[in-house]
Chains A and B, each alone.
Chain A
Amino acid sequence: MSNKQAELTSGKLTLAWEKRQLPSPWLSVAIPIFSVFMALFLSGAFLAATGFNPLEIYGAMLDGAFGSAYGISETLVKAIPLALAGLGVALAFRMLLWNIGAEGQFYMGAFAASWVALTFPDLPTQIMLPAMFLAGALAGGLWALIPAIPRAVLGVNETITTLMLNYVAILWVDYLVYGPWRDPAGFNFPLTAPFSAAAQLPVYGTTRVHFGLIFALVGAVIIYIVLQRTKWGYEIRVIGENQAAARYAGMSITKNIMLVMFLSGGFAGLAGMSEVSGITHRLQHGISSGYGYTAIIVAWLSKLNPFMIIVVAFLLGGLLVGGYNTQTMGVPSATVSMIQGAILFFLLGGELLTRYRIYFTRKGENS
């Protein structure tokens, strides 16, 4: 390690860094916040350059997302699938499993829950909703298990396989809603018949905020407890941080890869279930508007912390709602994913500062 005490000898002033023993705690909070602002600033400059007024647009976004009780309730509506899928993604990321298939797992969860609702329309609520819950989580988990098994056994790159399966899942749902499951009374729209009232999650008052919010909150608490307080959670954290040490300690990496991916997909599947049961009350084309991808940003921005995931999901939910609000001003809907990508860039760049101390030094000195 180089000497940080730069002597005032002659030489060129250069930037140097050294590793911190522990990541700086206040920087790990400050950098995500700073990243969001920098991303908004950069995107704002871009909007200005293409002839929009960024302040006006951001104002409208803020107003749409958080400026009214209705806006906040809609932000919560978007936060529910983001939080659930984000919890799942974060669980896999913790073990350095790059599950970017939350989008597909979401669709399969929505599909399985819809199958229950449409096949057994006469079930009472007390049986219907738990059955849909289980079906959604199970389908999402099994969909994630398809890439998990070759990953665990052969080391097949899960980034690509989980992503490929997203397209398959979306096409599968499209096949159903354009074909055998299409509602004959639906004026040819790609959607199924509506679910019976028993298959609909309860909502809060007159808003669209549904019981899925409780799933997300309880899920965050359970994940926190399991990771921090149980032996298995400890194993997961060890495998994520040092696979060689984990193997040496006799932990089964193969088994844990499959288990964690199954649970990860299960959460995304639950997001799909709560979306059909809580919001649309039917399966339809484009049921997720990229929640599974935004969940990746939710997970990384919250540093994989389950409680932060809830907070970040709410903020990024606001970005989605705000984004819809500005489309009437002629702002392309793609602006939102541009901002999301930019947030990740700044976050990644900023992480260097939490891990390294940066200082100036003069070249040519003895160290």
Chain B
Amino acid sequence: MTSDQIIAILAAAIVAGTPLLYAALGEIITERAGVINLGVEGMMLVGAVSGFTVAVGTGNPWFGVMAAAAAGGAMASIHAFLTISLRANQVVSGLALTIFGTGLSGFLGKPMVGIVAPKTLAVINVPALSSIPWLGPILFRQDALVYLSYLIVPLLWCYFYRTRGGLNMRAIGENPAAADSVGINVFFLRYVYTVVGGAFAGVGGAYLSLAYAPTWLENMTAGRGWIAVALVIFAMWDPVKAMLGSYLFGGIDAMGFRLQAMGINVISPFFLKMLPYIFTVIVLIIATRKSLKKHIGAPGALGLPYDREER
């Protein structure tokens, strides 16, 4: 493999990892507040189709991205209502969201099948930075949503660990009763973070339909929403580790694709396509073992509805 090919694969890893990154960041935000939302796949799909539809309709991909965020947030608000207000089972509600989102996106996307996005997110070469050898072509010849994710990751990290808001958020995820007793509005904040998390998943979906593919296909996420949920555990609920994890998964995805494109026929393409899924299972096992050893892990109240009467 020449250095050009390696650079191409690494740059493709960033592109393939970005939808995972947005979705994983969204799920981290939601889970940090104590709500587990397994509907990421459904929210991504609805985000992908609404983003694509609006981008085609308006001719502006950024309106598409905004529509995708709104659609993802709207989907998440169903989950928020069911699990926070009505205290429904979070696992089943998330599954319902995925099933519903798969159907809804297929329904809404039917007229969009086969249409090519008129204008997608363009690659922008960052002046000066893009000419750094190796790093430039990998990191700084990407589109604006990738650059936006470079900004969001450190900002989220600061929000989580360096602000009052982030502290409150972690408090309602770890011990909602204690947070409630010092006057933090547990119900309201859980709503906010669930909806914001959904908006991130929606943007992740839009990245697939507006930059990665860029077209709409039914079920185009192909399990990426679930991989994002696994990434959250792998990243131990940390945005910086989620970024590294996303690019790692993106790399596996890109490599399988490249090997196929290079005409390497030793391994059947079906087996190459299995790689990200098998890798997810293995990584999840390793990550769980590690968090057991280090005694760090999921937010204390993750997945549990908060009920004031049971304090």
Residues of A bordering B, CB below 8 Å: 1-2, 18-19, 46, 50, 98, 100, 146-147, 150, 154-157, 159-161, 163-165, 167-168, 171-172, 174-175, 178-179, 293, 296-297, 300, 332-342, 344-345, 348-349, 351-352
Cβ B82 vs Cβ A332 within 8 A: no
Q: How far is the CA of A171 from the CA of B263 in the complex (A)?
A: 19
- Given A168-B278, A332-B106, A334-B103: A348 and B226 interface contact (C-beta under 8 Å): no
B contacts with A, residue count (CB < 8 A): 49
Q: A338 touches which one: B104, B270, B274, B277 (CB < 8 A)? A: B104
Cβ B88 vs Cβ A340 within 8 A: no
B285 sits at the interface (CB 8 A): yes
- In the bound complex, residues from chain B placing their C-beta under 8 Å from that of A352 are 86-88
> From residue 195 to 243 of chain B, which have CB atoms closer than 8 A to chain A?
218, 222-223, 226-227, 229-230, 233
Cβ B99 vs Cβ A293 within 8 A: yes
Cβ B229 vs Cβ A160 within 8 A: yes
Cβ A167 vs Cβ B222 within 8 A: yes
Residue-by-residue, is B273-288 near A (CB-CB < 8 Å gives 1, otherwise 0)?
A: 1100110110011001
Provide 28 A-B residue pairs closer than 8 Å at the C-beta atoms, listed in order of the A residue.
A19-B309, A100-B95, A154-B285, A154-B288, A160-B226, A161-B284, A163-B223, A164-B281, A167-B274, A167-B277, A178-B270, A296-B99, A300-B92, A334-B105, A334-B110, A334-B218, A337-B102, A337-B103, A341-B42, A341-B101, A342-B100, A344-B92, A345-B82, A348-B92, A349-B81, A349-B82, A349-B86, A352-B86
- In the bound complex, residues from chain A placing their C-beta under 8 Å from that of B82 are 345, 348-349
Cβ B88 vs Cβ A349 within 8 A: yes
Cβ A172 vs Cβ B100 within 8 A: no
Q: How far is the CA of A205 from the CA of B260 in the complex (A)?
A: 49
Q: B96 touches which one: A147, A150, A344 (CB < 8 A)? A: A344
Residue of chain A at shortest CB distance from B223: A167
Q: How far is the CA of A340 from the CA of B17 in the complex (A)?
A: 31
- In the bound complex, residues from chain B placing their C-beta under 8 Å from that of A335 are 103, 107
Cβ B107 vs Cβ A334 within 8 A: yes
For the complex of A and B, list the 10 residue pairs with the smallest distance between their C-beta atoms, beginning with the closest: A341-B100, A334-B106, A338-B103, A337-B103, A344-B96, A175-B270, A348-B88, A341-B99, A164-B277, A332-B110
Q: How far is the CA of A178 from the CA of B271 in the complex (A)?
A: 12
Cβ A1 vs Cβ B309 within 8 A: yes
B89 sits at the interface (CB 8 A): yes
- In the bound complex, residues from chain B placing their C-beta under 8 Å from that of A46 are 107
- In the bound complex, residues from chain A placing their C-beta under 8 Å from that of B86 are 348-349, 351-352
B93 sits at the interface (CB 8 A): yes
Cβ B88 vs Cβ A164 within 8 A: no
Cβ A157 vs Cβ B100 within 8 A: no
- In the bound complex, residues from chain B placing their C-beta under 8 Å from that of A172 are 270, 274
Residues of B bordering A, CB below 8 Å: 38, 42, 78, 81-82, 86-89, 91-93, 95-107, 110, 218, 222-223, 226-227, 229-230, 233, 268, 270-271, 273-274, 277-278, 280-281, 284-285, 288-289, 292, 309
- In the bound complex, residues from chain B placing their C-beta under 8 Å from that of A146 are 281
Q: How far is the CA of A19 from the CA of B104 in the complex (A)?
A: 35
**Interface centre among B78, B103, B271, B292, by most A CB within 10 Å?**
B103
Cβ A179 vs Cβ B268 within 8 A: yes
Q: How far is the CA of A157 from the CA of B102 in the complex (A)?
A: 23
Cβ A154 vs Cβ B102 within 8 A: no
Cβ A160 vs Cβ B230 within 8 A: yes
Q: How far is the CA of A338 from the CA of B226 in the complex (A)?
A: 19
Cβ A163 vs Cβ B284 within 8 A: no
Residue of chain A at shortest CB distance from B88: A348
Q: How far is the CA of A345 from the CA of B288 in the complex (A)?
A: 31
- In the bound complex, residues from chain A placing their C-beta under 8 Å from that of B92 are 300, 344, 348
- In the bound complex, residues from chain A placing their C-beta under 8 Å from that of B100 are 337-338, 340-342, 344-345
Cβ A164 vs Cβ B230 within 8 A: yes
- In the bound complex, residues from chain B placing their C-beta under 8 Å from that of A164 are 223, 226-227, 230, 277-278, 280-281
4 further A-B pairs in the complex, CB-CB below 8 A; given A335-B107, A336-B103, A348-B88:
A163-B223, A341-B97, A341-B102, A349-B82
- In the bound complex, residues from chain B placing their C-beta under 8 Å from that of A150 are 284-285, 288
Cβ A337 vs Cβ B229 within 8 A: no
- Given A147-B281, A341-B97, A345-B82: A332 and B274 interface contact (C-beta under 8 Å): no
For the complex formed, measure the closest distance between the CB of A24 and the CB atoms of chain B, giving whole angstroms: 16
**Interface centre among A164, A336, A352, by most B CB within 10 Å?**
A164
Cβ A337 vs Cβ B288 within 8 A: no
For the complex formed, measure the closest distance between the CB of B96 and the CB atoms of chain A, giving whole angstroms: 4
- In the bound complex, residues from chain A placing their C-beta under 8 Å from that of B218 are 334
Residue of chain A at shortest CB distance from B94: A159
Q: How far is the CA of A345 from the CA of B92 in the complex (A)?
A: 9
- In the bound complex, residues from chain A placing their C-beta under 8 Å from that of B89 are 348
Q: How far is the CA of A332 from the CA of B106 in the complex (A)?
A: 7
Q: How far is the CA of A230 from the CA of B211 in the complex (A)?
A: 57
- In the bound complex, residues from chain A placing their C-beta under 8 Å from that of B93 are 344-345, 348
